Structure 1
Amino acid sequence: MERLQKVIAHAGIASRRKAEQLIEEGHVRVNGKVVKELGIKVSSSDKVEVDGIPLEREEPIYFMLYKPRGVISSVNDDKGRKVVTDFFPMIEQRIYPVGRLDYDTSGLLILTNDGEFANTLMHPSNQIDKVYVAKVKGIPTKEALKALERGVRLEDGKTAPAKVKMHTVDKKKQTAIVEIIIHEGRNRQVRRMFEAVGNPVLKLKRERYGFLTLQGLKVGDARELSPHEVKQLRALALKK
């Protein structure tokens, strides 16, 4: 037996909070009867409907993908471009990415059909480190690196403090390889941060998400996360 809002969230219909709202507003039926109580629990034999549509309950699954550049972090694209779910042709469940990586950014991306899990990882309060390695134009000054570490002012507000490390410098080509660790997930955040200090990103890869790394994966490869890894990610996201 599981709480009704959790079952709805696991089905990928909505986050648990949104599921609670749907229940309270009378959008949910269990075995033909409208249910507005949040405490109710249901079993696998109960028929659950949201706005008259039967809930298709799926076993939650969790994957990580080494996303290539030139791929959209979505389940479909109206321009016909390759999307991340194209790398899972044998998966029958409706999985979707947790957050996103830009079209031109490669690296570690999590996909799942567990709406509650996805919303927990993406919640602004979570402190999960995301490690990026960027090839940037120009050689960042010490002042630029310190600015990134303190947080830079973007059009949607100042970024949280980051950890920054210079890896290599190519004085001839006037480029540098820089590692940056952030825990926020704003749109194109790393690229915008480097642009703000005068060092536009030429190439970007996310190498780590929390404790997960790309070790053992080639570009375009994916693997299923273990139950222990899923549990660890939840614990990381809920840690304040």
Structure 2
Amino acid sequence: MTDPVRLSKRLAEQLGCSRREAELYIEGGWVNVDGQVVEAPFRKVEPGQRIELRAGATATEIAPVTLLLHRPAGQAAGTDAESTLRMLTAATHCSEDPSRIEPLQRHLLRQNELLPLEADSSGLVVFSQQREVIRTLSGSRNKFEQEYIVDVSGEPEANGLALLAKGIGHRGRILPKAKVSWQSETRLRVVLKEPAPGEVRMLCEAIGLRVLASKRIRIGRLSMAKLPAGQWRYLGEHERF
């Protein structure tokens, strides 16, 4: 009886190509095993299984991508990146993604969470494999404006929003200046540059308001727009932060 072998080895022998070319075909989603796409080069296959290369296959490196997730309220199971990263699956990819990028398993691996949200916040979260995006959002010189919608309760201090625009002290620290406006009787729009953990909440508390919920809807020029809660899409080729 012949033992199972790695799919990449079997495909290389079948096509007469190098092992690396076989891996690229597999990672690119071009290979079917018994009629099902398999993207794992190291998966073991049995001698009797049918291995097929799809029409139009190219052995090219998979370009790194950036993903935008609408993290829903109440589903942040922790403060670490892994709890949010687990939300990135093939099943949660937005069906109306305008990028037209063909989803691949490789796109969901080795993703770096950038400008992470606090555990009790929802909204726009960015994951990236792209060096230029990671450098842009992680650089100390690049302070991107972020926009939040915040549900609050309580009676605000008189002239409180004007105080927030000038910079206000709270709990022994000076908070960043913020542009704040009312969207309704219980909802605020808060815009500020890269808030540290807890600062959006402290800004509201500083003028006598209690935060009930907060949602990040924009980072720099990039808006979450109509991305459904719990789903993700690709950053488009021409989109910039």
Q: TM-score, normalised by structure 2?
A: 0.60
Equivalence for 1:130? 146
Percent of matched pairs sharing the same residue: 26
Matched, 1:160 2:164: no
Flag the 1:58–1:75 CA change in 2: closer, same or farther, 3 A.
Answer: farther
- Whole-angstrom distance in 1 between the partners of 2:134 and 2:207: 32
Q: What is the RMSD of the two structures over their aligned residues, measured on CA atoms?
A: 2.3
- Select 1:66's aligned residue among 70, 92, 99: 70
CA deviations over 1:40-92 (Å, ceiling 9, x no partner): xxxxxxxxxxxxxxxxx97421011101123145332xxxxxx2111223443
What does the per-residue CA deviation read over 1:129-154, in whole Å, with 9 as the maximum and x for residues that have no partner?
Answer: 21101111213234221121112224
- 1:182 matches 2:188: no
Highest Rg: 1 or 2? Answer: 2
Report the equivalent of 1:143. Answer: 159
Q: Which amino acid aligns with 1:135?
A: D
Distance 1:180 1:224, change over 3 A: same
Q: Is the Cα contact below 8 Å between 1:108 and 1:214 reproduced in 2?
A: yes
Moved more, 132-141 or 199-208: 132-141
**CA–CA distance in structure 2, aligned partners of residues 100 and 123 of structure 1:** 14
Q: CA deviation at 1:202?
A: 0.7
SS across alignment from 1:218: coil
Aligned length: 163
1:1-240 alignment, distance < 5 Å: 59-70=63-74, 71=76, 72=78, 74-76=80-82, 83-90=83-90, 91-92=105-106, 93-114=109-130, 117-154=133-170, 157-169=173-185, 176-229=186-239, 232-233=240-241
CA distance in 2 between counterparts of 1:208 and 1:216 reads 12
Distance of aligned partners of 1:123 and 1:157 in 2 relative to their CA distance in 1, 3 Å threshold: farther
Q: Give the Cα separation in 1 of the matches to 2:140 and 2:210.
A: 26
Structure 2: gaps spanning 5 or more residues? 1-60, 91-104
CA–CA separation in structure 1 for the residues paired with 2:62 and 2:203: 39
Please, what TM-score do these two structures have when normalized by structure 1? 0.61
| Structure 1 residues not aligned, in runs of 5+ | 1-56, 77-82, 170-175, 234-240
2:176 and 2:195 in contact (8 A); partners too: no
Which whole-Å CA distance do the structure 1 matches of 2:215 and 2:117 have between them? 9
SS at match of 1:87: coil
